[in-house]
Amino acid sequence: MIKKVCVYCASSSKVNSQYVETAEKLGKILAENNLELVYGAGSVGLMGVLADSALQNGGKVTGVIPKFMVEMEWQHDGITETILTETMHERKEKMAQLSDAVIALPGGCGTMEELLEMITWKQLGICKHPIVIVNVNGYYDHLLAQFQQAADELFMRPEHLEMWSVVNSVEEVLHALNNGKTIHENMRKFAKI
């Protein structure tokens, strides 16, 4: 049963308003469905909007952030719980440990790196979290095409493309989380191509 959802998203506050609205809607959806938000504890950009929306709608928000980011005053001071880590690696691991599912909103290199790490962990059987990619405005079209090319050229199995769900709006997220595609039970054996 999914109780806590890890969301990866941008810290940029200069992005298109459509992405801001998407983050705001997702925070509301999570809170209204009693799903705790786990995220990177940022106060600005989509991260801040997401957390604020979840909180404003009665949700619980746990942020995980490395100490150096707190020293830069990048943290959100109003969330339910803040967990400090020493490194980015520890941050990502802690976020995964705390969560039952992963959602990727649009974001930059950090968001994509976090998403790709979770996909890799799933491929290796380290984690079985449902993964939902929110492809608002076709944002992830190129990344999804790259995944398809990797499968076409046998860098991964075609079945690995079933490890995540893609939705075009946050209104589809809950359905995707609860109705994810079935993947091979023993991913570790299945990982080798």
Contact criterion met (CB below 8 Å) for 57 and 31: yes
What is d(CA 119, CA 99) in angstroms, rounded to the nearest whole number? Answer: 14
pTM metric for this prediction: 0.95
pLDDT for 160-180, tens place per residue?
999 999 999 999 999 999 987
Q: Which of 3, 19, 8 is CA-nearest to residue 103?
A: 8
Q: Which of 170, 150, 167 is CA-nearest to residue 158?
A: 150
Q: Which residues of 8-30 are buried (b: 16+ CB within 10 A; e: fewer)?
A: bbbbeeebeeebbebbbbbbbbb
**At residue 160, what is the residue type?**
H
Beta bridge partners of 36: 4
State the helix-helix crossing angle for 109-123 and 88-98, rounded to 10 degrees. 60
| Residue 183 pLDDT grade (very low, low, confident, very high; cuts 50, 70, 90) | low
What is d(CA 36, CA 91) in angstroms, rounded to the nearest whole number? Answer: 17
Percent of the chain whose pLDDT exceeds 70? 94
Beta bridge partners of 62: 38, 81
Q: Which domains does the chain have, with CATH numbers?
A: 4-191 (3.40.50.450)
Position 119 pLDDT exceeds 80 = yes
Position 150 pLDDT exceeds 90 = yes
